[in-house]
Amino acid sequence: LQITVLGTPAEEEGGGKIDLIKAGAFDDLDVVFMAHPSQENAAYLPDVAEHDVTVKYYGKASHAAAYPWEGVNALDAAVLAYNNLSVLRQQMKPTWRVHGVIKNGGVKPNIIPSYTELEFYLRAPSVKDLSVLTEKVENCFKAAALATGCKVEIKGGEQDYYNVLPNRSLENVYKENGKKLGIEFISDDCVLNGLSGSTDFGNVTFVVPGLHPYFYIGSEALNHTEQYTEAAGSQNAQFYALRTAKALAMTALDVIFKPDLLEEVRQDFRQVKLREEGQLNPV
């Protein structure tokens, strides 16, 4: 019997857990647990697959008033790319997300910009859906280059984040233990079936059965805001974090001392993974 506490840095950018997968850090593990703070308690929320992309347009500088016809406007390409994506949204599935920024839009108003740069995140419920979305988005970037005469460089992130695979057996046991500790789990279908963020823990769940619950920290503030940062560091939040840790520990003990449960967890893992890979019909 071995219990491993594994530090996994660079979740938000870089995909540290993916590097650890490649290094074999999860090879000998039966189950993996982690928890994420939120506005509600849920044993599972649908974290989605994510691909990030950096787009660079190269044009030709020229004086914007004296002889603009000599220039090739890279800012026009960036603006067209942004607008192409806005037009594409009408044909996007409701579960797709595309969001980004223009990181570099030129230098001076009187100079035709010769270089611009955009950064976008693409999200979809599954890796398969994400590849379809990525192709459509990249065509928008390429079309902008063609229309303006710019050269385009499209560079995807080194590591895509996979969607988190559910494991109903683990989730049910976690909820049972959480309720014993006074955790009230959300029942709102809009939240439970809606989209969440993305995490490199999704990649882990394709390798080993995983549990990734969300937990309330005593604040109604939204994640990734200044208010949530303050709430997460407050003394009040420590109670909720420790309670969640205890529920996870109780669930781990159930897995250790109930061999039948571990087999159920493994069976869930195999079935969900096969279904995700398109080898089984959706339930």
Tell me the pLDDT tens digit for each residue of 195-241.
Answer: 788 999 999 999 999 999 999 999 999 998 999 999 999 999 999 99
Domain-embedded: residue 3: no
Assess whether 181 and 265 both reside in one domain.
yes
Long-range contact set of residues 59-64: C-beta below 8 Å, sequence gap at least 24: 59/112, 59/113, 59/114, 59/115, 59/116, 59/148, 59/149, 59/150, 59/151, 60/112, 60/114, 61/111, 61/112, 61/113, 61/114, 62/111, 62/112, 63/110, 63/111, 63/112, 64/109, 64/110, 64/111, 64/112
Same domain, yes or no: 55 and 151: yes
Global pTM? 0.89
Whichever domain contains 148, its CATH number is 3.30.70.360
Average pLDDT over residues 247-272: 96
Domain boundary among 156, 176, 202: 156
pLDDT of residue 72: 98
> Is the same domain home to 178 and 273?
yes
Write the CATH number for 195: 3.40.630.10
What's the pLDDT tens digit per position in 149-185? Answer: 999 999 998 899 999 999 999 999 999 999 999 999 9
- Structural domain boundaries, residue 58: 49-156
Q: Is residue 123 part of a domain?
A: yes
Q: Do 88 and 67 fall within a single domain?
A: yes
